[in-house]
Amino acid sequence: MKIVCLNGWGGKLHEPLVSYLRCSDPDILCLQEVIHSPASKKDWLTYRDGDHVLPQRANFFRDVSDALQDHVAIFCPAAQGVLWDGTQSVPSQWGLATFVRRSFPIIGQVQGFVHKDYSSNGFGDHPRSRNAHGVRVFDDTSRRTVGVTHMHGLRDLAGKMDTPDRAAQAHRFLDLSRHVSDGTDLAVVCGDFNVEPDSETLRILANAGLCELVTGRGFAGTRNAQYKKPGRFADYMLVNREEAVKSFDVNYEPEVSDHCPLVLEL
C-alpha cells in the first residue's frame, strides 16, 4: 500500500502536481490546502489576505478527482470565504481531501476540527479553523486493517513555536486517529503540522507510541526551492508500527508545491 501526504498549495503548480499524482498513483492520498469553488467555471482565482496574494486553482478538488478517477474522493471543508476573479468575489471552500483507491474498502471514517470550528462566513482571523480527516480501510492483499488520519495544523502569524492551542490541537488529532482505528490496526498519521521537529506536538504523538519518519530517517526538511522563508520543516508522517514500513521518502523533485510529498509504502 502506498500512502502519499502533501500540502497542495492551493494547486498553484497545477500541471506538475497533477502529472506527479498520475505517475505516483498512490493508494491513499492525503491532500491539504484544497480549494473547492463549485459556483465558478474558472480555472484560476486569486486569494487575497493583505499583502499575501496567491493564485489558486479554482476547483482543485475536482482537478485531482479527475486525475485519480480510480479513487473515492472525500472533501472536508474547514471554511468558506471568497476568492477573486478580478474585482468579482467568488465563494470558495478551503480544506483538505482524502483519496482512496476503490479496491480498498473504506470501513470507517472520522472528520472533525482540531482548532476552532467551521467558518461559514469568511476564512476568519489567524490562526484560522483547522480540521482533520481519517479513513479506516481493509487491505485484502496483506489481510490487515489500516487507519490513516491527516490534518493541516494551525498557522500562527507569530511563528511555529509551541502554544496551548497547538498542544490542544495535537490531542484532538490523536483522539480522532484513535476514534477511526482500534488498537489492533496499523495506524498512520500525517499532514502539514506547521511545527518544528522539537515541538510539543510531536512529543505528544511520540508519547502515544507513534514513530516519526521524516527526521527519524534523516531527512533535512520537507520544503523545496519554491519556499523562500527560513525553516525547512512543516510536514510529518508517523506510524505505530515501524516494522511495517517497506520504504519512506521525501520527494524533493519534481516540485509540485512549496511542500514536498511524503511517500510511505507499507
- Average pLDDT of the segment spanning 172-176: 98
Its domain, for residue 231, covers 2-265
- Around Cβ 62, how many Cβ atoms within 10 Å? 16
Residue 212 maps to which CATH number? 3.60.10.10
85-96 tens-digit pLDDT: 999 999 999 999
Instruction: Give me the pLDDT at residue 87, please.
Output: 94
107-139 tens-digit pLDDT: 999 999 999 999 999 998 899 999 999 999 999
pLDDT beyond 90 at 52 = no
Q: List the one residue out of 16, 36, 42 whose CA is nearest residue 97.
A: 36
- Average pLDDT of the segment spanning 131-157: 97
Instruction: Give me the pLDDT at residue 28, please.
Output: 98
Residues sharing a CB contact under 8 Å with residue 186, sequence separation 6 or more, in sequence order? 144, 145, 146, 147, 239, 240, 241, 244, 266
Instruction: Give me the pLDDT at residue 50, please.
Output: 85
Question: Model confidence at 2, in pLDDT bands (50, 70, 90)?
Answer: very high
Mean pLDDT for all residues in the chain: 97
Instruction: Give me the pLDDT at residue 142, please.
Output: 94
C-alpha distances in angstroms, 114 versus 163, 182, 235?
Answer: 14, 20, 16
Under the phi-then-psi rule, with left for phi > 0, alpha for psi from -120 to 50, and beta for the rest, what region is 79?
A: beta
Residues sharing a CB contact under 8 Å with residue 85, sequence separation 6 or more, in sequence order? 40, 42, 45, 46
Instruction: Give me the pLDDT at residue 183, please.
Output: 86
pLDDT beyond 90 at 164 = yes
**At residue 98, what is the residue type?**
T
Q: What distance in Å separates the CA atoms of residue 21 and residue 31, rounded to the nearest whole number? A: 11
Pairing of strands 235-239, 186-192: antiparallel
Under the phi-then-psi rule, with left for phi > 0, alpha for psi from -120 to 50, and beta for the rest, what region is 116?
A: left
- Average pLDDT of the segment spanning 55-79: 97
Residue linked to cell 469553488? 37
Number of domains in the chain: 1
Helix and strand counts by DSSP (H, E) for the chain: 4, 14
pLDDT beyond 90 at 35 = yes
Question: Model confidence at 225, in pLDDT bands (50, 70, 90)?
Answer: very high
- Around Cβ 56, how many Cβ atoms within 10 Å? 22
Instruction: Give me the pLDDT at residue 51, please.
Output: 86
> In the sheet that 28-36 helps form, which strands lie side by side, from edge to edge?
52-57, 44-49, 71-85, 88-101, 28-36, 2-7, 262-265, 247-250
Q: What distance in Å separates the CA atoms of residue 22 and residue 265, rounded to the nearest whole number? A: 17
Question: Model confidence at 182, in pLDDT bands (50, 70, 90)?
Answer: confident
pTM: 0.97
Residue linked to cell 482505528? 181
Question: Model confidence at 147, in pLDDT bands (50, 70, 90)?
Answer: very high
DSSP 77-128: EEEEEEEEETTEEEEEEEEEEEEEETTS-EEEEEEEEEES--BSSSS-SSSP
- Average pLDDT of the segment spanning 30-39: 97
| Cis peptide leading into residue 127 (ω within 30°) | yes
- Average pLDDT of the segment spanning 43-59: 94
- Average pLDDT of the segment spanning 93-102: 98
